Amino acid sequence: MVSLEAFSELLQVLYSAPLPQEQRQRFLTLLSEYTRCATGFFISADTQSGLAVLAQGGKWQDPAVVEAYNRDHAKTDPFRIAVICRSRTANPVGVYAEQELVPDKEFHQSDPYRELLGPVNLRYAAISILALSTRRFDAISPWGTERRGPMDPSSRRLLELLVPHVQAVLEVRRTLGVTEQRLACTEAMANVSSTATFGLPKRVARLGGCTESRHSKASRLAYVPAHVCDSSQGERRRRQGCAGIVASRVESSHVGHLRSGADACKTCRATEGCRDGA
């Protein structure tokens, strides 16, 4: 029977980071160890990429097998076809032995088994379906050898208990990926803009690169309670009446533009009553 310590360690790896590549491999290696399998695969597909093995972990690992599967066999994988057929009548999320999805005879005659799995003595699997929809497919499949035999009930139960946790972590990872893409797009738009535009939630986080060409001395901006100014010369300019780059307070939901010279000092008088030192 799988111990609570093993389950706890698997959860720790899952939630320590939103499953980047190295964490996926570590998780699969631990999962293979606790289920006494030779190796484990994480398989995924979405609207931007076809079905592919994204990670492998375990005592036995061979990148050449993963590459060959992704290149030649992913589209004709008999388990993928069987899961899609099952989804027409019921929610396919769950854990299945390989013979529950594909009969042994059909499996042994398939190209993935004859060309990839059979030659390296991988025979028995427990396929954990995490998600299946028109937009994505996720699965984890530990594989054991002929000598090891089918997965025992306690190991299968461990896979069943892990399903909601792996689903949650993958959802977090996808959400972070969307956020990162949006930030990258925002930064790209700011860099090509002819005007230095920025937003202030409570502090200055980033400024479009075009500012450096327009104000070569303004290497960076610093947040001051009532305005924004060049941090390298901020204190001196405040004493001299805030001459230079100054922006009025911007609330979290607003966007502003940089001001300078006399307009800047007018802004200062409105916010802090500083003197015009220009």
Q: Using a cut of 0.85, tell me whether the model's pTM lies above it.
A: no
Q: Is the dihedral of CA 105, 108, 109, 110 positive or negative?
A: positive
Mean pLDDT of 237-254: 46
Query: Where are the chain's structural domains?
Result: 4-181, 197-271
Q: Is 207 helix (H, G, I), strand (E, B) or coil?
A: coil
On the question of pLDDT at 109 being above 80, the answer is: yes
Mean pLDDT of 175-183: 63
CATH superfamily of 4-181: GAF domain (3.30.450.40)
Q: How far is CA 201 from each of CA 158, 188, 205, 206, 223, rounded to the nearest angstrom?
A: 44, 19, 8, 11, 11
On the question of pLDDT at 238 being above 80, the answer is: no
Residue 8 CA to its chain's centroid (Å): 22
Q: Which residues of 54-72 are buried (b: 16+ CB within 10 A; e: fewer)?
A: bbbbbebbeeebbebbbee
For tokens 């069943």, name the residue. 160
Q: How far is CA 218 from each of CA 85, 214, 240, 242, rounded to the nearest angstrom?
A: 62, 9, 17, 14
Structure tokens at 114: 């004859």
pLDDT-based confidence at residue 190 (cuts at 50, 70, 90): low
Give the integer Cα–Cα distance in Å for 237 and 272. Answer: 14
Average pLDDT, the chain: 75
- Angle among Cα 88, 92, 93 to the nearest 5 degrees reads 155
Residue 201: predicted pLDDT? 53
Structure tokens at 30: 């631990």
Segment holding 255, helix H or strand E = strand 255-257
Point out the least confidently predicted range of 35-39, 42-46, 192-196, 250-254: 250-254
The answer for residues whose C-beta is within 8 angstroms of residue 5's C-beta and 6 or more apart is: none
Mean pLDDT of 134-141: 90
Of 227, 189, 181, the C-alpha closest to 206 is 189
Between 208 and 235, whose confidence is greater?
Answer: 235
Q: Is the dihedral of CA 96, 97, 101, 107 positive or negative?
A: positive
Give the integer Cα–Cα distance in Å for 235 and 242. Answer: 9
Of 87, 15, 27, the C-alpha closest to 54 is 27
